[in-house]
Amino acid sequence: MEQEISGLSSMATRPILTDLSDHLRRTCGVPVRFESAGGVETARRVRAGAEADLLVLAEGALVRLAEEGLVLSATVRPLWVSQVVAALPDGRPVPALDSESDLRAALLSARRIAYSTGPSGTALVELITRLGLADALSGRLVQAPTGVPAGSLLTSGRADLAFQQRSELTGLPGVVVVGPLPGDTAIDSLFSGGVLASSGQRGRAGEVLDLLGSDAASAIAGARGMRAFGHRG
């Protein structure tokens, strides 16, 4: 039996990588297993010498690790684009989210707003500042701990509006996804993959990375709320 290919990833890509790992086992006979944690924690583990073959992270974080020599630069490739979406506790009236004015109204009417660590959370805070709402929303923003879905703060009553990657909010019990942010306020995150410099199976790891970026994997990614890089819609 072939030796397993191991990978590390952020939580945003965990649902996709779980499905894709199962797909590769069934259709290609390739044993693949990913461990997922918050993106910040995953990058820390790589810097601390965690043993794995593949890494899937937000593009910026992955490129920085490649610059540090921890990921093979020649193997880095974009995989999927994910939208940040708004979500509410189940049972709450669903607001319109068709315009910037709608988004402003939703933000200003929320008592507590949950957001995530990592690039999507940073982008949301920057958006709130750009909209001129930083002072108005001061004290209302609640950052979920690393690796914890922002949606869990909705179900626990710690927030009544949340923003995070669609893949992390879709299907959470007690959570309703309202939709992506409108127009110029939209937040997209690019997730990329690469082979870790410490991998003892660089060739096979690269082959698995190619499979993750293949057209056959696009439908699986789409079912989990992400689109393949370079595909529209």
**Which tens digit of pLDDT belongs to each residue from 195-207?**
999 999 999 999 9
Over the stretch 51-101, which tens digit does the pLDDT of each residue have? Answer: 999 999 999 999 999 999 999 999 999 999 989 999 999 999 998 999 999
Pairwise CA distance, residues 122 & 180, whole Å: 16
Q: Are 76 and 193 in contact (CB under 8 A)?
A: yes
> Rounded to an integer, what distance in angstroms lies between the CA atom of residue 111 and that of residue 101?
18
| pLDDT value of residue 222 | 84
pLDDT in tens, 16-29: 899 999 999 998 88
User: Considering the entire predicted model, what is its pTM?
Assistant: 0.83
Query: Residue 87: in which H helix or E strand, if any?
Result: strand 77-89
Query: Residue 229: what pLDDT?
Result: 82
Q: Predicted confidence band at 230 (pLDDT cuts at 50, 70, 90)?
A: low
Class of domain 5-80+190-228: alpha beta
CATH 3.40.190.10 in the chain is located at 5-80+190-228, 82-185
Amino acid at 26: R
Contact predicate 164/85, CB 8 Å:
yes
Q: Name the nearest CA neighbour of 70 among 32, 44, 38.
A: 44
104-163, pLDDT tens digit by residue?
999 999 999 999 887 888 999 999 999 999 999 999 999 988 778 888 999 999 999 999
Contact call for residues 37 and 45 (beta carbons, < 8 A): yes
CATH topology classification for 82-185: D-Maltodextrin-Binding Protein; domain 2 (3.40.190)
